[in-house]
Structure 1
Amino acid sequence: MIPIRDTTVCYTTPYVTWALMFICISLFVLLEFSPDQIHHYIIYIYGMVPLRYTNPEWAIAMGYPVDHYLSFITNLFLHGGWLHLIMNMWFLWLFAGKIEDRMGHVRFIIFYLICGFIASTIQWLYTPDLVMPVVGASGAIAGVLGAYFFLYPYSRIVIWIPILLLPIFIEIPAIAFIGLWVIFQMAKATTAVMFYEGASDVALWAHLGGFIAGFLLFRYFLRKDYPG
């Protein structure tokens, strides 16, 4: 199922959402055309490598800067491939503008970064020995979905079901679409822990951690003068 659009009305221009998309896309394109050595350095230094913080001696031996915790935030702006980038930017485009509208620009960026930080931390706690960098905006976007889930549960999400590439579109409530997304993340995370010792090419725990952070914290960032 691929979400195409929603029916929620947005009263303000989502400048922060656009800026986040611009930064993510620009960094990805820049790194794609950078020498491999620079690409590798940026991903490993500014991506969040869990073992770097679990085992400081290993981190020093590998040449990581000491006490460098910015990667819990900077990893949100890096992506591992075109599909990874496109999916994250699509979800950001569909859902984040509505939450920015309800929070205001400043409150939204604070909320977004806090959710991303919590998502990165949860991923570190559940995969402390991982030596691959965790990158991507999906943890923070999961926080946006957590807020959307409670603010617009009955908004209609137009879904494309790509059966033989036919134009099959249906509308379902946001609570159903996001609920299915959460169930899928939980199932994948549990399977990874049970059968693969927590190994996965998707930061599932970051997704769940970001979502939980989003639905717990969103109410503290809402505008009091919202016109809707």
Structure 2
Amino acid sequence: MFPIRDHNPSRRVPVVTFALIAANVVIFLVSLPNFSQPEALHRFFLSWGFVPAFVSEGANLHGLFTSMFLHGGFMHLAGNMLFLWIFGDNLEDRMGHVGFLAFYIASGLFAAGCQYVAAPTSLVPMVGASGAIAGVMGGYLLLYPKARVDVLLILVILIRIITLPAWAMLGLWFGIQLLSGVGTSADTGGVAYWAHAGGFIAGLVLALPVWLKSGGKTHWQSTRGHPPHPEARYTRTHIPTVTRKQKRSPWQ
């Protein structure tokens, strides 16, 4: 289940969102030669990723920040940038450019902190913008709980685009992170579920001042949880149904 767009247009150019996407893409391209050399790639991630065991020893603290701009592959990068593009522009529109950048970095740092608490002795480097982007998703849920999100649903051979309210899509995503975090060991690598869950919670908390300034529950009641501006409408292309022509019998 992948979100492909929301119906929540932003009113200003999201320059910080664009800059973050560009920075992640450029850094990935620069690091790309390392992917053909496993040992070089491992050394690169140890040097610039977030390694909990190193932080426990007071070393490589810069990894808390630099890990937010590293990715383990093209699909990892593409998925993260898609989520940032869909949800980031609206928070930047609401928080302002500088406020959104501070919010993004703070969410990423808190996410790394949660992963550290889960596995403080792990030597597995954590890389990716997922924790910071999870914060963006948490803030989006608080500010636009009923914004409509188009989701690409793939079930074996069934492929559909369905529209869900943000609370359903983002709430389901958060629930999956929690369940997966409980069911897997944070020391063995793989997906950093606790960083995702921690970043999401950080985003909810850090977006509270913006929500309260907008009126809090009063704002929700006046907008019914929808964005306070007209939603974007998309036209879907319908593929015409082609039926087989029946052959006429020579006796007809």
Shorter-chain TM-score tier:
0.7 to 0.9
What is the Cα deviation at residue 17 of structure 1? 0.6
1:19-38, aligned counterparts within 5 Å? 19-34=19-34, 36=37
For structure 1, list consecutive stretches of 5 or more residues without a partner in the other structure.
57-65
Counterpart for residue 115 of structure 1:
107
What is the Cα deviation at residue 39 of structure 1? 3.9
SS at match of 2:9: coil
> Cα–Cα, structure 1 residues 165 and 86, in superposed 2: closer, same or farther, change >3 Å?
farther
For structure 2, list consecutive stretches of 5 or more residues without a partner in the other structure.
215-227, 230-252
Q: Which of 190, 215, 228 matches 2:204?
A: 215
Q: Runs of at least 4 residues of structure 1 off by over 4 A?
A: 164-167
8 Å Cα contact 2:126/2:192 also seen in 1: yes
CA distance in 1, matches of 2:59, 2:33: 30
Matched, 1:47 2:39: no
Counterpart for residue 61 of structure 1:
none
What is the Cα deviation at residue 4 of structure 1? 1.2
8 Å Cα contact 2:150/2:163 also seen in 1: yes
Q: Which amino acid aligns with 1:147?
A: G
CA distance in 1, matches of 2:137, 2:94: 13
**Rg larger for:** 2
8 Å Cα contact 2:186/2:192 also seen in 1: no
The RMSD of aligned alpha carbons is 2.2
1:20-169, aligned counterparts within 5 Å? 20-34=20-34, 36=37, 39-54=41-56, 56=57, 67-163=59-155, 168-169=160-161
Report the structure, 1 or 2, having the larger helix content.
1
8 Å Cα contact 1:52/1:131 also seen in 2: yes
Percent identical pairs in the alignment equals 39
8 Å Cα contact 1:156/1:174 also seen in 2: yes
8 Å Cα contact 1:107/1:221 also seen in 2: no
Deviations 1:172-215 (A, max 9, x none): 100000000011001100101xxx47534001110011011110
- Corresponding pairs, count: 214
Q: Which amino acid aligns with 2:9?
A: V
Counterpart for residue 250 of structure 2:
none
Matched, 1:182 2:174: yes
SS at match of 1:33: helix
SS at match of 2:183: helix
Deviations 1:27-84 (A, max 9, x none): 1111112474654433211100011122x2xxxxxxxxx6431111110000011111
CA distance in 1, matches of 2:3, 2:167: 13
CA distance in 2, matches of 1:90, 1:154: 20
Deviations 1:102-150 (A, max 9, x none): 0010010011001100101110111112111100000000100110001
